[in-house]
Chain A
Amino acid sequence: MEATHAHGQDHAHDHGHGHPTGLMRWVTTTNHKDIGTLYLWFSFIMLLSGGTLALLIRAELFEPGMQIMRPEFFNQLTTMHGLIMVFGAIMPAFVGFANWQVPMMIGAPDMAFPRMNNWSFWLLPVAASLLIGSFFVPGGASAGGWTMYAPLFLQGGISNDMTIFAVHILGISSIMGAINIVTTILNLRAPGMTLMKMPLFVWTWLITAYLLIAVMPVLAGAVTMLLTDRHFGTSFFNAAGGGDPVMFQHIFWFFGHPEVYIMILPAFGIISQIIPTFSRKPLFGYASMVYATSSIAILSFMVWAHHMFTVGLPTAAQLFFMYATMLIAIPTGVKVFNWIATMWKGSMTFETPMLFAIAFVCLFTIGGFSGLVLAITPVDIQLQDTYYVVAHFHYVLVSGALFSIFAGVYFWLPKWTGHMYDEKLGKLHFWLSTIFFNVLFFPMHFLGLAGMPRRIPDYALQFADWNKVASIGAFGFGLSQLILLVVVLKCIKGGVKAEGRAWEGADSLEWTHLPSPAPYHTFETPPTVN
């Protein structure tokens, strides 16, 4: 705090001023905007790495028969794809948005703990190297699935230990990041910025941060138990010593289901900023949005066993978890209705962020519906561990979380770089992504219904057609993402100068009170909000 304060109001020369330059600037930075940028680039690199693994998976699945790899390598690919995308791509991207936007949106000069912020980020590359490096140790990377189920995960080599340590490091990073965000939001709001005046993005992140603090330690506990079971003779999950393999699933999903909402609540926040902006109309039902988000977060702690309907739970438990899971449809529905009501009788324009936001609402809802189908226990019994589940969570995480990230990047690029992005390329990116996304994942519903299990490297002949279609979609979708890279690089280099309020309908502080690009230090004197 002292340091940032010392720089005073001198916005004119942002970058100089005794800051290290070059690489060291990024290693030592405590500036929330720098760290946000680091998070976003890290996440993009992880997206490409995880995507490459996914393309290898789809290449093997292009037709029946084992063509380009051995089954155990296939399992390593699915495991690492999951871990990298969840912990390396989606979560850090949202933390990146939080770093950039939360201080600007609440009128704070920086995050509450800038140095801790720096550590939170720089733990990530360490964890990523552990994960990616594990491909090169004897026996190859972890192959037990990103869910790390015992006892399968108790088998296997050193790479499983590397994965456990990576998860620990990622957990510590997330917890520190979350503490920072909670403290910033609670303590550093500008005068007059009451909780119920905060932009919805800030609200969703506040709730997400609490979820992170609550469940990341539980995951850390679960993987620590795996570690001691593997090496120190404990028997938490080992039936031989009186443990219960299913217990791991209980603990994992106690983390895992809130984790799903950790990946989607900030997305709701981004979409709730974008839709009102491009509808030129205030968000419909702001208060009910806040309550819906909170109730989703609370319900997320009561539904974990819907991931375990086939382990042979008692009937009463199956009924309870089915009802609890179905309830989540209500607050989620409220959100969708609110977004549509926001558009209703607006004055809409359709720039790239809005296009991605609309696609988000539609496609996320499809993911929600398939989630409802899966919530019905008897139907879930048929679909558990099939491609239907794969389709479901990719509709939620790709057309949900990832599309909201795309939307947010296009939305705030003008504020970050001071230039408008190339609208034509942006729209191209949108259309190719949306079309190929559906080509890739919609057929997986059919595959799952027809009974194709997930995580198999080879399949029966009746699944061949749709797998081929999905693989074609995968390559289309994967390659389309390079357009995003081009757009971002072009936008950083130059382009039409962005105004302070780059979007006509934007009304949060970063648009109304700050120029574009946002100066290195902002709101050192807090703005007054009325």
Chain B
Amino acid sequence: MLRKMRSLGLGWGAFLMSMAARAQESKYNLPTPESTVAHQIYDLHILIMWVCVAIFVVVFGVMFYSILKHRKSLGHKAAHFHENTQIEIIWTVIPFAILIAMAIPASKTILNMRDASNPDMTVKVVAYQWKWEYEYPAEGIKFLSNLATPRDQIEGTAPKGDHYLLEVDNPLVVPVGKKVRLLLTANDVIHSWAVQAFGIKQDAIPGFIKDTWFKADKPGTYRGQCSELCGKDHGFMPIVVEVKTQEDYDKWVAAQKAKNAAVTMDPNKTYSLAEMKAHGEKVYATNCAACHQPTGAGMPPVFPALTGSAVVTGPKAGHIDIVMNGGKKNPAMVAWAKTLSDVDIAAVITYERNALGNATGEVIQPAEIKALRK
């Protein structure tokens, strides 16, 4: 037993050494730290782990010596002592001293971690079931970040990619070496935003704003996952942070702003069924497919089927209302009026009414949605 445990302990240590050079794809230890705080935490963990291993080896060395030597089968006669105040005091005081030695660096790291003052920039993170929204208030940039891994990889009908479940459509982009302050909140339930490489994990709590910060050492792509159970797709809302040089970051900001101006389909234009369906399919895949399923089969009873649904095949007013304002009877249905544009809403309704096994032939125009908002 001892040998087994000890070799495991040592093996663990050896793994740590050999793995220290590997970044991202850590299998045995914390990923390579890429920020000051993460470095401190990494060192703290290594220190404490080795202290624990050392104590374990000493204490259980004594125990296994006793197990080997003080056996009845070897004719060992039992002694009869059952108290020794001196030794009991010693083994209370020594652990206490060790704990104090651990508490000092730990306290320093906490104070450093919690110092979110003087940030270079602020990003607001809003968690939804089951995606993230990033907003750069100073730049007027705001976008959703969804899992990008295709369904067929998850279901095993396609080979899994390198960053299976750790890839998103729109990553958070930040400049290198800048203190980025994050303001976190959630829309529905508690989520947790975590990127180990930066030593950061902060719960996002509905109704409350929480702040934390990180400063990335090197450009690169860093990955994390939602770390608080938030319902069905908790395992499918990864976090990807792209750290760019200041120059590239500025380019990205400019491009985002330009894209915001251009990409929005003109809400005053009239579109054909095919145009709306094509756009709606994308909107559906990003926002609706998680619950109502890519096929429209849903997951009754909470997430009803759209195929042949009374709402979807019935009068369009009812359909538009539930998409914009949420389910009056079923709290699981989200109100999309505030997150989706007129074009997106019109397109996704058009898609639902003309795909997924439905064929009403109706086209909903953005203008109709716009009219309803006024």
A contact residues vs B (CB 8 Å cutoff)? 64-67, 70-72, 75, 138-139, 143-145, 149, 151-152, 155, 157, 239-240, 244-246, 279-288, 310-312, 315, 318-319, 322-323, 326-327, 329-330, 333-334, 336-337, 340-350, 358-359, 361-362, 365-366, 369, 372-373, 376-379, 381-382, 384-386, 434, 438, 442, 445-446, 449-451, 453, 455-463, 465-466
Chain A nearest CB from B114 CB (Å) reads: 5
A330 touches B78 (CB 8 A): no
A152 touches B229 (CB 8 A): yes
CA distance A70 to B212 in the complex (A): 34
New A-B contacts (13) at CB < 8 Å, excluding given A315-B114, A373-B49:
A279-B78, A329-B99, A340-B59, A347-B70, A348-B66, A348-B72, A348-B76, A382-B38, A385-B192, A449-B28, A451-B224, A453-B227, A465-B27
B208 and A365: CB pair below 8 A?
A: no
Q: Which of B95-118 contact A (CB under 8 A)?
A: 95-96, 99, 102-103, 106-107, 109-111, 113-114
Residues of A within 8 A of B83 (CB): 284-287
Nearest-neighbour CB distance to chain A for B264, whole angstroms, equals 31
18 residue pairs of the A-B complex, CB under 8 angstroms, read A151-B190, A155-B331, A239-B206, A282-B82, A285-B84, A288-B88, A310-B192, A310-B203, A326-B103, A327-B99, A330-B99, A333-B91, A345-B66, A345-B70, A369-B56, A373-B49, A378-B113, A451-B225
A376 to B52, CA, bound (A): 13
A281 CA / B229 CA spacing, docked (Å)? 49
Establish whether residues B27 and A453, one from each chain, have CB atoms under 8 Å apart when the complex forms. no
Verify if B155 is at the interface (C-beta below 8 Å from A): yes
Contacts of B200 in A (CB 8 A): 381
**A369 nearest CB neighbor, chain B only:** B52
Q: CA A319 – CA B110 in complex, angstroms?
A: 8
Min Cβ gap A208→B in Å is: 23
Q: In the complex the two chains form, is B71's CB within 8 Å of A382's CB?
A: no
**CB distance A281 to B79 under 8 Å?**
yes
Interface contact tally, CB-CB below 8 A: 309
Q: Are B40 and A460 in contact (CB under 8 A)?
A: no
In the A-B complex, the 10 residue pairs with the smallest Cβ-Cβ separation, listed nearest first, are A239-B207, A456-B235, A312-B210, A345-B79, A369-B52, A347-B78, A378-B109, A282-B82, A152-B189, A280-B78
Complex: A239 Cα to B45 Cα, angstroms: 36
| Chain B contacts with A in 23-40, Cβ cutoff 8 A | 25-31, 37-38, 40
Question: For A349, what are the chain B residues with a Cβ–Cβ distance below 8 Å?
Answer: 71-73
Instruction: Tell me the smallest distance from the CB of B215 to a CB of chain A, in Å.
Output: 16
Known A75-B229, A310-B201; judge A346-B66 contact (CB<8 A).
Answer: yes
Chain B residues contacting A451 (CB-CB under 8 Å) are: 26, 30-31, 194, 196, 224-225
Alpha-carbon separation in the docked complex, A451 to B223 (Å): 10
Q: Name the contact of A144 in the complex, choosing from B37, B154, B156, B229 (C-beta under 8 A).
A: B229
Is the Cβ of A382 less than 8 Å from the Cβ of B231? no
B257: A residues at CB distance < 8 A: none
Q: How far is the CA of A406 from the CA of B59 in the complex (A)?
A: 24
Question: What's the Cα separation between A373 and B102 when bound, in Å?
Answer: 10
Interface residues in chain B, defined as those with a beta carbon under 8 Å from any beta carbon in chain A: 1-2, 4-5, 8, 12, 15, 25-31, 37-38, 40-41, 44-45, 48-49, 52, 55-56, 59-60, 62-63, 66-67, 70-73, 76-84, 87-88, 91-92, 95-96, 99, 102-103, 106-107, 109-111, 113-114, 153-156, 160, 162-166, 188-190, 192, 194, 196, 199-203, 205-208, 210-212, 224-236, 299, 301-302, 331-332
Cα separation A284 to B66 with both chains bound (whole Å) = 15
A455 to B63, CA, bound (A): 37
Whose C-beta in chain B lies nearest to the C-beta of A445?
Answer: B12
Q: How far is the CB of B297 from chain A (nearest CB, A)?
A: 12
Pick from B56, B103, B230: contact of A322, CB below 8 A: B103
Residues of B within 8 A of A350 (CB): 71
Q: Please state if B208 and A244 are interface contacts (CB–CB under 8 Å).
A: yes
Chain B residue nearest to A138 (CB atoms) is B301
Which residues of B are found within 8 Å of A239, using beta-carbon distances? 205-208
Taking the closest CB of chain B, its distance from the CB of A275, in whole angstroms, is 11
- Are A149 and B78 in touch, CB under 8 angstroms? no
Q: Are B202 and A318 within 8 A (Cβ)?
A: no
Identify the closest chain A residue to B115 (Cβ). A315
Task: Give every chain A residue within 8 A of B332 (Cβ-Cβ).
Answer: 155
**A65 — nearest CB in chain B belongs to which residue?**
B156
Assembled-state Cα–Cα distance A382/B44 (Å): 11
Contact A382 B196 (CB under 8 A): yes
CB <8 Å contact, A450 and B103: no
Which residues does chain B contribute within 8 Å of A341, judged by CB atoms? Answer: 84, 87
Looking at B4, B160, B229, which has the most chain A CB atoms within 10 Å of its CB? B229
A481 to chain B, nearest CB (A): 20
In the complex, A453 Cα to B239 Cα: how many Å? 12
Tell me whether A152 and B231 are in contact (CB under 8 A). Answer: yes
B160 to chain A minimum Cβ distance, whole angstroms, is 6
B67 contact from A152, A343, A386, Cβ within 8 A: A343
Residue of B nearest to A370 (CB): B52
Query: Which residues of chain B are within 8 angstroms of A283 by Cβ–Cβ distance?
Result: 82
Min CB distance B317 to A, Å, is 28
In the complex with contacts A330-B95, A451-B225, A65-B48 CB distance below 8 A = no
Residues of B contacting A347 with CB < 8 Å?
70-72, 76-78
B227 touches A381 (CB 8 A): no
Contacting residues, chain B, for A384 (C-beta < 8 A):
192, 201, 227
B10, chain A: closest CB distance, angstroms = 13
Name B41's contact: one of A145, A379, A434 (CB within 8 Å). Answer: A379
- Asked, given contacts A280-B72, A453-B226, whether A346 binds B44 with beta carbons under 8 Å apart, the answer is no
On whether the beta carbons of B88 and A334 are closer than 8 Å, the reply is yes
Query: What is the chain B residue whose CB lies nearest that of A463?
Result: B27
Q: Which residues of A contact B49 (CB under 8 A)?
A: 373
